[in-house]
Amino acid sequence: MIVASNLTKRYPGGLQALHDVSFEISAGEMVCVTGHSGAGKTTLIKLISTIEAPTAGSLLVNGQNLAALRRSALPFVRRNFGLIFQDQKLLFDRSALENVLLPLEIVGLPYREAVRRAQAALDKVGLLERAKANPVALSGGEQQRLAIARAVVNRPAVLVADEPTGNLDADSAEQIFAIFESFHQVGVTVVIATHDLGCIRRFEPRVLRLDHGRLL
């Protein structure tokens, strides 16, 4: 599913965030990327999700080398990914349902089908009863669950999250990881950058550990 070979990322000014990182993630695996602050976790997530391109090496997803893609092809490739960020990037001028509908509107899904799928996604994360609520009225944990619903509504093959529990209390963090686990159980590949060792011990995903840009 995901194969990285000698993956390297160097930023302007000489900062090298990743050094010759190689690994394989099988389809349907749940993997956590851990490490100290600045270890390269977020950079790796950005490379997997095509937000950034590597400086050297290759990164294959389903046999397609993301490092060699033309810029024009990236929007189509990104449809295979569900992306979740620590700051959620929710739209506060729309309801919860409208936030989840947005990815389906972009791909042109008929409205009635889009609403049905958005409601199903909200139900999956336990927010169907809050569909009409504005995100500002939701708790931090609910906002993160809303972000997950939006990420999975297009039924992506890969779910990628960057520190999704970083701003949450322990109970909310465990609820978020339980949702990731439920998607993993139905065959979605889940990759999470996290320092939440408690949830890692609780759910026992496979762990990739980074240290100053190198895979241990």
All residues at 6 or more sequence positions from 122 whose CB lies less than 8 Å from its CB, including other chains: 96, 97, 100, 128, 130, 131, 146, 149
Number of domains present in the structure of the chain: 1
In a domain, 150, yes or no: yes
In a domain, 104, yes or no: yes
Q: 95 by DSSP, 3-state: which? A: coil
In a domain, 19, yes or no: no
Q: What is the pLDDT along the chain (216 residues), one digit of tens a residue?
A: 899 999 999 998 888 999 999 999 999 999 999 999 999 999 999 999 888 889 999 999 888 888 787 878 877 788 889 999 878 789 999 999 999 999 999 889 999 999 999 999 999 999 999 999 999 999 999 999 999 999 999 999 999 999 999 888 999 999 999 999 999 999 999 999 998 999 999 999 999 999 999 999
In a domain, 58, yes or no: no
- Which residues form the domain of 183? 30-42+70-206
> How far is the CA of 66 from the CAs of 2, 60, 173, in angstroms?
10, 6, 31
The per-residue pLDDT for 167 is: 84
| Burial profile 152-175: b = 16 or more Cβ within 10 angstroms, e = fewer | bbbebbbbbbbbbbeebeeebbbb
Nearest to 193 by CA among 163, 168, 215, 214: 163
In a domain, 22, yes or no: no
In a domain, 2, yes or no: no
Say how many C-beta atoms besides its own lie within 10 A of residue 25's C-beta: 20
In a domain, 126, yes or no: yes
> How far is the CA of 107 from the CAs of 72, 104, 119, 163, 207, in angstroms?
16, 5, 17, 27, 34
Q: 140-152 and 111-124 helices cross at what angle (nearest 10)? A: 130
Predicted TM-score (pTM) of this structure = 0.92
In a domain, 193, yes or no: yes
- Domain of 134, CATH number, reads 3.40.50.300
- Pairwise CA distance, residues 25 & 27, whole Å: 7
